[in-house]
């Protein structure tokens, strides 16, 4: 439990904690726009300065176009565990500007919500982590060893972050990692994300004749790589919507009865979801629950096929070369490398005589599935209850959060995804907002989880 003293401190300092967030929100740190590079740097400097004031040894690490902020603060107690906190200071472009009710980088509070680009994703959430540290420090409460990693390229896909983490593996060694960059499942319903899907994305190329050919003169004799490609793609799924790659489902961890029951209780409205799609949610495997298909089952989707004549009207061509982009979302414990291997074998086996095929891997990441009964999860769930007065639900997410997978794979830490945005925060859209109660509650929650973890012993010895 968070001490009453810390709670009173946070209550008394709400207005200041809001005011101190504003300068950060005013900086247009759009990582995708080269003109914003100085702004991004300014943002990183501001954060490093704030961390310095909190007693951190804070540095800017030059990294690609936007520096990383890396800060450390030692605990008073020997044997205290180390907690790695992650957030990102870069934001999505604000365009289209005409749809904003107030300028995107002039934070305005309306009806208990603060509107600016980056308010929820992710400046408000990362700043809450800093304010939580401030509160514990001001009230003389013990803190764990802390490492804060703030990234400036999350919104452009964290290119090459893997290389940084690999190089900084020792420096970043920690017992626990907390990522504040996600949202509640529904308003009033704190959520902990314990599962994320991984990805294998490939491009398949097929070549046949040396040049495009006349289908009248050579049709029936020349092998057509486009015919071969569509036959291959069609063979990748069966009539039940199952992926036919050999061994594809072998490692899939089935949903437990407990998870299934818990998910059925979530306030999820399939009608509203269908309305969002603009069609019925009929994709994926037949006979499998909708949330399970989105969160806990692997998928296969085609993203583009190129080959032959794409212009208006008819052109009777047998193309020389074609290609297709295909990806699979993976779930625990599928191995991306194994799926790629299976893809290669499948494509080779479905390449007819006279056609040459080639496969290129464009992206791969592993799924994440964090045990629900870990000490960090328990601490996070308790902290959310303390902050928001309601038991947290455990949810998964269909997409990947690259940093979680990297923490797990490179640093060997099971991340806790404990965000406090809301589903209607308009992330990446005009009029992004963060509700002030979510911000203040987020500070309480982070303070509570840090306070709890500070009392545990470092796992370093056991980890080896």
**Which residue, 134 or 151, has its beta carbon nearer to Zn ion?**
151
Window 138-157: residues binding Zn ion (CB under 5 A): none
**Out of 121, 151, 153, 397, which residue is the one contacting Zn ion (CB under 5 A)?**
121
CA distance linking residue 163 with residue 402, whole number of Å: 13
Nearest to 87 by CA among 142, 135, 129: 129
Distance of closest approach, residue 181 Cβ to Zn ion, in angstroms? 4
How many Cβ atoms sit within 10 Å of the Cβ of residue 163? Answer: 12
Write the secondary structure of 181-224 as one string of H (helix), E (strand) and C (coil): CCECCECCECEEEEEECEEEEEEEEEECCCCCEEHHHHCCCCCC
**Which residue, 153 or 175, has its beta carbon nearer to Zn ion?**
153
Contact yes or no for 434/114 (Cβ under 8 A): yes
Helix (H) or strand (E) holding 207: strand 198-207
Distance of closest approach, residue 183 Cβ to Zn ion, in angstroms? 10
**Which residue, 122 or 285, has its beta carbon nearer to Zn ion?**
122
| Residue range at the interface with Zn ion (CB under 5 A); choices 66-74, 107-115, 179-187, 379-387 | 179-187
**Which residue, 82 or 182, has its beta carbon nearer to Zn ion?**
182
**Which residue, 292 or 425, has its beta carbon nearer to Zn ion?**
425
Strands 191-196 and 393-397: parallel
**Out of 134, 151, 181, 364, which residue is the one contacting Zn ion (CB under 5 A)?**
181
CA atoms within 13 A on the CB side of 415: 28
Helix (H) or strand (E) holding 176: strand 176-179
Distance of closest approach, residue 428 Cβ to Zn ion, in angstroms? 9
Nearest to 133 by CA among 76, 22, 58, 51: 51
Distance of closest approach, residue 278 Cβ to Zn ion, in angstroms? 26
**Which residue, 181 or 364, has its beta carbon nearer to Zn ion?**
181
Strands 213-214 and 317-318: antiparallel
| Residue range at the interface with Zn ion (CB under 5 A); choices 30-38, 113-121, 205-213, 318-326 | 113-121
Query: By CB under 5 A, is residue 122 in contact with Zn ion?
Result: yes
**Which residue, 119 or 320, has its beta carbon nearer to Zn ion?**
119
**Which residue, 121 or 425, has its beta carbon nearer to Zn ion?**
121
| Residue range at the interface with Zn ion (CB under 5 A); choices 176-184, 204-212, 223-231, 295-303 | 176-184
Window 389-418: residues binding Zn ion (CB under 5 A): none
Distance of closest approach, residue 154 Cβ to Zn ion, in angstroms? 6
| Residue range at the interface with Zn ion (CB under 5 A); choices 7-15, 101-109, 119-127, 206-214 | 119-127
CA distance linking residue 320 with residue 383, whole number of Å: 61
CA distance linking residue 292 with residue 398, whole number of Å: 9
* Per rule CB under 5 A, count of chain residues that contact Zn ion: 3
Read off the tokens for 136.
Answer: 């514990």
- 329 phi, psi to nearest 5 deg: -85, 135
CA distance linking residue 168 with residue 373, whole number of Å: 29
Identify the sign of the CA torsion 438, 37, 179, 71.
negative
How many Cβ atoms sit within 10 Å of the Cβ of residue 179? Answer: 25
Distance of closest approach, residue 122 Cβ to Zn ion, in angstroms? 4
**Which residue, 224 or 404, has its beta carbon nearer to Zn ion?**
404
Distance of closest approach, residue 282 Cβ to Zn ion, in angstroms? 30
Query: By CB under 5 A, is residue 90 in contact with Zn ion?
Result: no
The residue written with tokens 């990234």 in the block is: 151
**Which residue, 299 or 426, has its beta carbon nearer to Zn ion?**
426
Window 237-296: residues binding Zn ion (CB under 5 A): none
Can you state the percent helix, strand and coil of the chain, rounding each to 5? 35, 20, 40
Distance of closest approach, residue 128 Cβ to Zn ion, in angstroms? 14
DSSP helix/strand/coil, 386: helix
Distance of closest approach, residue 331 Cβ to Zn ion, in angstroms? 22
Contacts to Zn ion by CB under 5 A: 121-122, 181
């Amino acid at each position: 439990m968070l001490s009453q003293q810390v709670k009173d401190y946070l209550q008394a300092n709400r207005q200041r904690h809001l005011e101190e967030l504003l300068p950060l929100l005013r900086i247009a740190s759009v990582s995708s726009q080269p003109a914003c590079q100085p702004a991004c740097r300014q943002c990183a400097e501001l954060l490093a300065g704030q961390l310095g004031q909190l007693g951190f040894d804070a540095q800017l690490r030059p990294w690609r176009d936007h520096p990383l902020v890396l800060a450390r603060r030692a605990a008073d107690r020997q044997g205290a565990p180390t907690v790695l906190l992650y957030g990102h200071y870069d934001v999505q472009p604000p365009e289209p500007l005409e749809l904003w009710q107030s300028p995107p980088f002039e934070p305005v509070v309306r009806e208990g919500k603060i509107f600016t680009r980056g308010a929820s994703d992710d400046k408000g959430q990362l700043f809450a982590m800093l304010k939580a540290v401030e509160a514990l420090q001001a009230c003389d409460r013990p803190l764990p060893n802390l490492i804060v990693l703030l990234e400036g390229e999350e919104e452009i896909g964290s290119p090459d972050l893997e290389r940084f983490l690999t190089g900084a593996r020792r420096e970043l060694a920690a017992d626990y990692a907390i990522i504040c960059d996600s949202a509640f499942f529904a308003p009033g319903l704190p959520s902990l994300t314990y599962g994320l899907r991984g990805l294998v994305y490939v491009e398949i190329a097929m070549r046949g004749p040396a040049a495009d050919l006349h289908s009248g003169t050579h049709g029936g004799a020349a092998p057509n790589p486009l015919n071969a490609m569509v036959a291959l793609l069609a063979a990748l799924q069966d009539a039940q919507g199952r992926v036919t790659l050999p061994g594809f489902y072998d490692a899939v961890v089935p949903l437990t009865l407990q998870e299934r029951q818990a998910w059925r209780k979530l306030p999820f409205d399939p009608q509203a979801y269908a309305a969002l799609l603009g069609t019925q949610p009929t994709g994926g495997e037949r006979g499998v629950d909708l949330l399970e298909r989105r969160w806990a089952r692997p998928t296969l989707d085609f993203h583009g096929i190129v080959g032959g004549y794409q212009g208006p009207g008819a052109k009777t061509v047998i193309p020389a070369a074609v290609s297709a982009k295909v990806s699979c979302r993976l779930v625990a414990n599928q191995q991306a490398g194994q799926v790629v291997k299976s893809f290669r074998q499948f494509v080779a086996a479905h390449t007819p005589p006279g056609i040459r095929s080639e496969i290129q891997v464009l992206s791969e990441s592993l799924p994440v599935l964090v045990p629900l009964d870990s000490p960090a999860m328990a601490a996070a769930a308790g902290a959310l209850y303390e902050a928001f007065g309601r038991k947290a639900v455990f949810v998964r997410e269909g997409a990947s959060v690259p940093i979680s997978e990297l923490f797990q794979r490179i640093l060997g830490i099971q991340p806790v995804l404990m965000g406090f945005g809301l589903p209607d925060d308009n992330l990446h859209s005009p009029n992004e907002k963060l509700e002030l109660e979510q911000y203040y509650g987020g500070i309480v929650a982070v303070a509570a989880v840090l306070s709890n973890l500070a009392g545990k012993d470092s796992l370093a010895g056991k980890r080896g």
